[in-house]
Amino acid sequence: MDKSIAPFRSFGYAWVSTVGQTLEAQLEELHAAGCTNVFREKVSGAKADRKELMKLLATLGPGDELVVTRIDRLARSTFDMFAIVKRIVDAGARFRSLAQPWADTDDSTGRLMLAVLGGLADVERDLIKTRTAELMRWMPPRSGILYAMTVL
């Protein structure tokens, strides 16, 4: 056996972004998928600099893989997802999602699908933000005071 090649390591990443969420289901799935070490994090999705994710990315080497239960457990924006996946691939490692088996950086089809669906997720997120802002604009606050809008 060639000692210069590191053995394959499968790392899991479990992330929840709100206080009410738990990591247990993700941890069970990742361990069942053969992840030998799972990095876990409870931090807002608005933060791109998640400490455990950064540690995991620094740990990856050639032949390793980073596994998540779903793509949205890796990143909340297309830009962040591409930056993270680029770091994984640059390390010589592989990314895969358990819920989306086509999301595998080992082949060009998987990379294309990640790009397309990441873009769709961005569109959906923008639509939700727009609808929420629209609703907040027309909904009276609970204090009974109506919002006033000034048009310039």
- Digit-coded pLDDT (tens) for 99-130: 988 888 888 888 788 778 777 777 877 888 88
Residue 143, domain member (yes or no):
no
Instruction: Look up the domain containing 122 and give its range.
Output: 10-129
The total number of structural domains in the chain stands at 1
Q: Which residue has the higher pLDDT, 91 or 141?
A: 91
Specify the CATH number for the domain of residue 112: 3.40.50.1390
Which residues are within 8 A (CB) of 88 and not within 5 positions of it... i.e. 6 or more apart?
Answer: 57, 60, 66, 94, 95, 105
Q: In Å, how far are 49, 64, 73, 74 from 15, measured between CA atoms? A: 13, 20, 6, 8
CA count, 13 A, side-chain hemisphere, 88: 26
Catalytic residues: 17
Q: Which residue has the higher pLDDT, 119 or 93?
A: 93
Residue 37, domain member (yes or no):
yes
Residue 93, domain member (yes or no):
yes
Residue 136, domain member (yes or no):
no
| 3-state SS, residue 22 | coil
